[in-house]
Chain A
Amino acid sequence: MVPTPLVAASRQRRLVSGDRVFRVIAYGAAGLVMLIAVIFIVALVVPALPAITKFGLGFFVTRTWDPVRGEFGALTPIYGTLVTSAIALLIAFPIGLGAALFLAEDARLSLLRSPLSFLIELLAGIPSVVIGLWAFFILVPLMRDKVDPFLNHTLGFLPLFRGTPSGYGFLTAGLVLAIMVLPIMIALSRDVIRAVPRELREASLALGATNAETIWSVILPYARVGITGAILLSLGRALGETIAVTMVIGNSVQISASLFASGYTLPSVIANEFTEANGNVYLGSLFYLGVVLVLITIVVNVLARLLIWRFSGSSRAAV
């Protein structure tokens, strides 16, 4: 006896063909992502070609940025980007790590924990132009009148803190960036520290170690790789931040040892000069800067993710 098929042949065919169509659509969407990636690369690199062929790799070691003479080099904005990001991490790393330890570890003042987490999440959601506005009107005068003169007075023997403070410049931009990367730094380090196995902590405390000793000799060594990843992701954010930095760095083409001096970063050159750039070489140089910026951020981000994945094993970091 032939068993009656559960699903009629025609219906089965329809089911299969429907699946095939859906599969094609889904794969088409995936193909679209790859297409976007290709378009992105073409859209960045092709307009940069006039500058790439003209300046080549010498672009990276040229300090001049002179639209009038048509001479362009990336050294000044690269310097500005690295200095401001370095300042940002020097400030945000210790504070962020400390805050993360508190949020992940400390049982005292636990009432404060969730409002503090909420505050820091809020900070992450504030548009960068709003932070820029605040920095422009509030932070810049504060730096000019109070902080910079104080640093100049006490640490003026270092070339870093010489010169007349205008309020604009590397230090202010670095401080703004520090505020902006703090939420990432805190959230990621907190997750990494929470992932340290409880038994390790308890073993250390049971052996008579104090909280501080447990942090120093158990938690931090275990979380080192993940925290490095957090630092790199923060760096990636700092390198690419555009608007807030553009509003406070002073936007002038110079390399100066003084942190009070105004400067330029890769994104702020692009933001400032893109609409007024005339000629293939000028516009091409701005695109070339864009290519450099994108390459740097991709390298930093990929490295960061590899570290965080290595730390958290197969589970992906929620970023």
Chain B
Amino acid sequence: MSLPLVRLLIDRVVVALVVLCVMVAAIPVLVLFLFVIIKGLPGILTPGFFTDSPHPQGVPGGGVLNAIIGTLEIVGIGSLLAVPVGALIGIFLSEYGRNQVGDTVRFISDVLTGLPSIAFGILGYTVVVLTTHHFSALSGSIALAVLMLPVILRATETALLLVPNTLREAGLALGAARWRVTLEIVVPAALGGIVTGALLAMARAAGETAPLLFTAFGNDIVQTNPLQPMGALALTVFHNALVPYPNLQDQAWGAALLLVIMVAATNILARVYVRRIER
């Protein structure tokens, strides 16, 4: 053993560095949460935050009701489009997809996962906004639906593949058709995974801003018609941050906190659901 002390020293230094790295990685998260909570609470606790529309710039007060409704509606419609289609594609991949077609679908899905979120905004803009000649919540929902699709279909495929083949064989042996085995035995057995995937996709979609910038566009009045421009919490955060009015900036922080709470709640719901299913 040559230079045992040096080797020992190097080892200790490396271990210390590794621990340091973890601390450095954890600090931004803690700081981020701290600030979002400290700065967001006054915003959320302002009277009217949940019940008012934004006031014009320079006029104190106002709330983000338009954005809350907008986020729920845009993500809701997006999910209605993406969840059934995504689940069906996932079923295809696991039950029929051991071939060239399946591999192509998987490849496209992987490519979609890696695309920058702004690309989905461009898609929604060209496909819906350019053809209807105005911004609309629906174009935002479509952009988000395409963004959610790969998450849902992969989660569904994974969940279905975990269902033991003996279950399928038992169903077939009892004389049930393959489609009934799939829909009445395999899918219910994998429901936990599918729901989790859908919830995670919704959480991701709710936080996205870039796909909504030139699709849903934003709207300072409460709008429920999906064919009209609509506000969203993420858009409120983005736009209000860049305005020099304290009440609007407070709203931005409040909207950010609300967004984080919504995303976190959806994530936790997904986890709890998985645990309940597994039990």
Contacts and interface: CB of A to CB of B under 8 A. Distances in A.
Contacts, number: 263
Interface in B229-243: 234, 237-238, 241-242
Contacts of A267: 116, 118, 210
Nearest to B256: A130
Interface stretch (A155-163, A194-202, A298-306): A298-306
A39 B26 CA distance: 41
Contact of A122 (B29, B208, B214): B29
Interface hub of B20, B22, B108 (most chain A Cβ within 10 A): B22
Contacts of B10: 210, 212-213
A287 B210 contact: no
B127 A43 contact: yes
Given A18-B180, A34-B108, A36-B149, A126 B260 contact: yes
Contact of B238 (A43, A116, A120, A132): A132
A282 B20 CA distance: 48
Nearest to B238: A129
Interface in A172-203: 179, 182, 186
B237 A34 contact: no
B85 A29 contact: yes
Interface in A135-163: 136-138
Nearest to B179: A22
Interface hub of B26, B122, B207 (most chain A Cβ within 10 A): B122
A274 B261 CA distance: 30
B225 to A, nearest CB: 20
B26 A119 contact: yes
Interface stretch (B52-60, B72-80, B87-95, B190-198): B87-95
A293 B256 CA distance: 28
Interface hub of A43, A120, A274, A302 (most chain B Cβ within 10 A): A43
A27 B207 CA distance: 32
Nearest to A212: B14
Contacts of B179: 18-19, 21-23
A129 B11 contact: no
A6 B10 CA distance: 75
Contacts of A96: 21, 25
B240 to A, nearest CB: 9
Contact of A298 (B85, B89, B111, B217): B111
A102 interface: yes
Interface string B174-204: 0101111011000000000000000000011
Contacts of A274: 121-122, 125, 213-214
A275 B239 CA distance: 14
Contacts of B97: 30
Interface of A: 6-7, 14-16, 18-19, 21-23, 25-27, 29-30, 32-34, 36-37, 39-40, 43-44, 46-47, 94-99, 101-103, 105-106, 108-109, 112, 116, 119-120, 122-123, 125-134, 136-138, 179, 182, 186, 208, 210-213, 215, 233, 236, 239-243, 247, 267, 270-271, 274-275, 287, 290, 293-294, 297-298, 300-302, 305, 319
6 contacts: A18-B177, A30-B89, A95-B25, A98-B21, A120-B25, A208-B1
Q: List 4 A-B pairs, minimum CB-CB distance, nearest first.
A: A240-B116, A98-B21, A127-B207, A301-B114
